[in-house]
């Protein structure tokens, strides 16, 4: 029997809504914890009837934090839908745009959402535990660096994509406008600053977090550790790629489990529905759903910066590769068959995010120096008959898949979306429960700082509930479950449409 309930509502510093319910037993120990998503939106349904080519401009409204990811997944789904291969220049413009987005998105997460826990400490007063508190602590100069990093990259996003938030330039087979030499020169300067900023951020992490034994112990603690499968998109050399490649899944021991093109996603991923939350739980079909548990026999997988590093063999740019090696060596991973063993400590995700920040910055610099980047051949006319298209990218929060079916006029008849954060729903729920179990014991006073430490369990995933809650059902009827003393279900009364 439960004697006490603790509710954290709303969960702050994640993008969207969320609620955690923790149930204690009579002894004051955690009996169970539920991470509920109280909101859904109707994109998969209300996009039906819309012209497919509008999807890059409609689905970016799934999430204002990562509209570029939905814009790009939708644009790539349109390539597949119309069977048109973009020119090499168009692909490079898209990837350069996408790299600028990664730099700003990973920067926002690290400094505004993740850093308050480390720079100020998890038990700092609530009023100071935010980005402005971080600036007050580390100084306005660093704060301005963060602000300027966001500013120049959103400017690049607007230059290339048309708008700073909710871009518009993605089209089937290309991009609506080419890059001029004047734009190229301006962007090259920003890309150089991005590389410097990423290196600075990695140094800051080393100084503030890695140099503090208390934080290192917290990162390595069992309370924040889970052994799951990991997913990420890789290039032909099995290096991390955000824009394109094959989707690779490794098992908890670091062995490749599957590698597949995006259009095969439905053969490998299934989504489970639970009655106590509006969000679905994706899992690996070949392994099966075994509940909220760790290990090789459970189909739970994870798609975060840490997951992408674990799923890949390395980084495609030199300084990011060096940062990748330092990450695994420092955290005690050993190489088996030429690959580092996966790191399962979830709080290391913050560090992995900075390794990816450096890769995005270096990749942006490579692309802006590519002679082809100013090729005007980026927009094409399309006259094929559409039927079905699937596109995916790595959103910052995980593999993002858009799947469209249309009539012969390109009007959508079916839409399925598996978004970054949704992939991570089961691992987040598990992390929240485990952190609660590790930190709340009989006699422990429930202080606000303790609850924030539990929130840290999910915050490292950078969950974006705006993304995850892309469906909106209407009003829903009540369901009553009657259980006997042993908790067994004896009757279920359901009143449904």
Partner 1 sequence: MSENGKPVRQAQDKPKLAMYWGAGCGGCEIAVLNIAEKILIVDEVFDIAFFPCIADFKVKDVEGYPDGYIDLCLFDGAIRNSENEEMAQLLRRKSKVLVAFGSCAYEGCIPGLSNLTSKEATLRTVYLDNPTIDNPDGILPQPFYDVPEGTLEIPVFYNTVKSLDQVVDVDYYLPGCPPEPHQIWAVLQVVVAALTQGAALPPSGSIIGAGEVAVCQECSLKKDEKVIERFYRPYEIIPDPTVCLLEQGLMCLGPATRSGCGALCPQVGMGCRGCYGPLAGVEDQGAKMLTAVASVLDVGKPGDDEAELERQLDAAIETIVDPAGTFYRFSMSHSLLRRAKVNGN
303 binds partner 1 (CB under 8 A): no
- Which residues lie closer than 8 Å to 41 by C-beta, 6 or more apart? 62, 469, 470, 471, 472
DSSP 485: T
**Closer residue to partner 1 in complex, CB, 248/470:** 470
Contact in structure between 18 and 36 (CB atoms under 8 Å): yes
CA max distance for the chain: 74
User: Applying CB under 8 A, which of residues 282, 305, 342, 420 lies at the interface with partner 1?
Assistant: 282
User: Applying CB under 8 A, which of residues 222, 337, 474, 485 lies at the interface with partner 1?
Assistant: 474
9 binds partner 1 (CB under 8 A): yes
User: Applying CB under 8 A, which of residues 94, 166, 345, 346 lies at the interface with partner 1?
Assistant: 166
418 binds partner 1 (CB under 8 A): yes
Site for partner 1 in 198-257 (CB under 8 A): none
Shortest separation between residue 212's beta carbon and partner 1, angstroms: 15
Question: For residues 468 and 41, what is the distance between their CA atoms, to the nearest angstrom?
Answer: 9
Shortest separation between residue 314's beta carbon and partner 1, angstroms: 31
User: Applying CB under 8 A, which of residues 65, 218, 240, 354 lies at the interface with partner 1?
Assistant: 65
Report the run of H or E that residue 350 belongs to, with start and end.
helix 349-368
**Closer residue to partner 1 in complex, CB, 164/295:** 164
76 binds partner 1 (CB under 8 A): no
184 binds partner 1 (CB under 8 A): no
Residue 349 corresponds to which tokens in the numbers above?
A: 């995700």
Question: For residues 429 and 283, what is the distance between their CA atoms, to the nearest angstrom?
Answer: 13
Q: How many residues bind partner 1 (CB under 8 A)?
A: 124
C-alpha 271 chain-centroid distance: 17
Distances (CA, A) of 464 to 16, 44, 109, 284, 332: 6, 18, 11, 21, 30
**Closer residue to partner 1 in complex, CB, 51/291:** 51
Question: For residues 171 and 381, what is the distance between their CA atoms, to the nearest angstrom?
Answer: 10
Shortest separation between residue 264's beta carbon and partner 1, angstroms: 12
Site for partner 1 in 361-390 (CB under 8 A): 379-383
**Closer residue to partner 1 in complex, CB, 17/259:** 17
493 binds partner 1 (CB under 8 A): no
Question: For residues 44 and 402, what is the distance between their CA atoms, to the nearest angstrom?
Answer: 10
**Closer residue to partner 1 in complex, CB, 43/257:** 43
485 binds partner 1 (CB under 8 A): no
165 binds partner 1 (CB under 8 A): yes
Question: For residues 303 and 268, what is the distance between their CA atoms, to the nearest angstrom?
Answer: 15
93 binds partner 1 (CB under 8 A): no
Burial of 336 (0-12, 13-18, 19+ CB in 10 A): exposed
Site for partner 1 in 304-363 (CB under 8 A): none
Shortest separation between residue 343's beta carbon and partner 1, angstroms: 28
User: Up-side HSE of residue 363: CA atoms within 13 Å toward CB?
Assistant: 27
293 binds partner 1 (CB under 8 A): no
91 binds partner 1 (CB under 8 A): no
Shortest separation between residue 332's beta carbon and partner 1, angstroms: 32
- Give the residue from 331, 325, 400 showing the smallest Cα distance to 359: 325
Count of other CB atoms within 10 angstroms of residue 416: 14
Shortest separation between residue 187's beta carbon and partner 1, angstroms: 15
Shortest separation between residue 244's beta carbon and partner 1, angstroms: 20
Shortest separation between residue 213's beta carbon and partner 1, angstroms: 20
Chain length of the chain: 497
Site for partner 1 in 18-57 (CB under 8 A): 19, 21, 23, 31-32, 34, 36-42, 44-51, 53-54, 57
411 binds partner 1 (CB under 8 A): yes
**Closer residue to partner 1 in complex, CB, 2/212:** 2
- Which residues lie closer than 8 Å to 121 by C-beta, 6 or more apart? none
Shortest separation between residue 321's beta carbon and partner 1, angstroms: 31
When computed from its CA atoms, the radius of gyration of the chain, rounded to whole angstroms, is 22
Shortest separation between residue 122's beta carbon and partner 1, angstroms: 11
464 binds partner 1 (CB under 8 A): yes
Report the run of H or E that residue 466 belongs to, with start and end.
helix 465-468
Question: For residues 453 and 173, what is the distance between their CA atoms, to the nearest angstrom?
Answer: 46
CA 326, 329, 335, 341 torsion: positive or negative?
Answer: negative
Draw the binding track, 119-148, toward partner 1 (x: CB under 8 A; -: no contact): -------xx-xxxx--xxx-xx--xx--xx
475 binds partner 1 (CB under 8 A): yes
Shortest separation between residue 161's beta carbon and partner 1, angstroms: 7
- Give the residue from 223, 300, 267 showing the smallest Cα distance to 456: 223
- Give the residue from 89, 88, 47, 78 showing the smallest Cα distance to 170: 78
**Closer residue to partner 1 in complex, CB, 115/393:** 115
Contact in structure between 419 and 468 (CB atoms under 8 Å): yes
Shortest separation between residue 236's beta carbon and partner 1, angstroms: 27
CA 232, 236, 239, 245 torsion: positive or negative?
Answer: negative
**Closer residue to partner 1 in complex, CB, 15/394:** 15
**Closer residue to partner 1 in complex, CB, 345/459:** 459
């Amino acid at each position: 029997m439960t004697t006490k309930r603790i509710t954290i509502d709303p969960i702050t510093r994640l993008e969207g809504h969320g609620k955690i319910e923790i149930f204690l037993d009579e002894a004051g120990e955690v009996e169970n914890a539920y991470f509920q998503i109280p909101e859904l939106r109707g994109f998969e349904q209300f996009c039906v009837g819309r012209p497919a080519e509008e999807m890059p401009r409609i689905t970016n409204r799934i999430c204002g934090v990562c509209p570029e990811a939905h814009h790009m997944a939708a644009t790539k789904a349109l390539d597949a839908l119309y069977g048109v291969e973009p020119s090499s220049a168009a692909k490079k413009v898209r990837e350069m745009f996408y790299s600028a987005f990664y730099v700003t998105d990973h920067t926002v997460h690290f400094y505004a959402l993740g850093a308050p826990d480390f720079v100020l400490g998890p038990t700092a007063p609530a009023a100071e535990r935010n980005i402005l508190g971080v600036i007050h602590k580390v100084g306005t100069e660093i704060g301005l660096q963060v602000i300027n990093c966001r500013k120049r990259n959103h400017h690049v996003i607007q230059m290339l994509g048309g708008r700073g938030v909710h871009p518009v330039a993605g089209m089937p087979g290309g991009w609506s406008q080419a890059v001029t030499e004047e734009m190229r020169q301006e962007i090259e300067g920003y890309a150089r600053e991005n590389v410097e900023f990423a290196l600075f951020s990695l140094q800051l992490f080393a100084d503030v977090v890695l140099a503090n034994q208390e934080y290192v112990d917290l990162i390595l603690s069992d309370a924040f550790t889970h052994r799951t499968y990991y997913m990420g998109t890789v290039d032909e050399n099995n290096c991390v790629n955000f824009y394109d490649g094959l989707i690779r899944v490794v098992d908890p021991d670091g062995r490749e489990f599957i590698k597949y093109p995006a259009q095969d996603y439905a053969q490998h991923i299934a989504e489970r529905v639970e009655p106590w939350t509006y969000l679905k739980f994706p899992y690996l079909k070949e392994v099966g759903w075994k509940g909220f548990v760790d290990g090789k026999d459970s189909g739970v997988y994870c798609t975060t910066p840490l997951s992408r590093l674990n799923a890949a063999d390395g980084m495609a740019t030199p300084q990011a590769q060096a940062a990748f090696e330092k990450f695994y060596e420092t955290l005690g991973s050993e190489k088996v068959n030429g690959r580092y063993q996966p790191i399962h400590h979830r709080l290391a995700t913050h560090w992995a995010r900075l390794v990816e920040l450096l890769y995005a910055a270096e990749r942006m610099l490579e692309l802006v120096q590519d002679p082809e980047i100013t090729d005007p051949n980026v927009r094409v006319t399309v006259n094929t008959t559409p039927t079905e298209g699937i596109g995916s990218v790595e959103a910052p929060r995980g593999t993002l898949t858009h799947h469209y079916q249309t009539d012969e006029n390109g009007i959508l008849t079916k839409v399925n979306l598996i978004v970054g954060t949704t992939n991570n729903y089961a691992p987040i729920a598990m992390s929240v429960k485990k952190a609660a179990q590790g930190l709340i014991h009989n006699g422990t006073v429930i202080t606000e700082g303790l609850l924030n430490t539990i929130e840290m369990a999910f915050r490292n995933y950078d969950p974006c509930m705006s993304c995850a809650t892309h469906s909106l059902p209407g009003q829903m009827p009540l369901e009553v479950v009657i259980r006997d003393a042993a908790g067994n279900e004896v009757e279920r009364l359901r009143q449904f449409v």
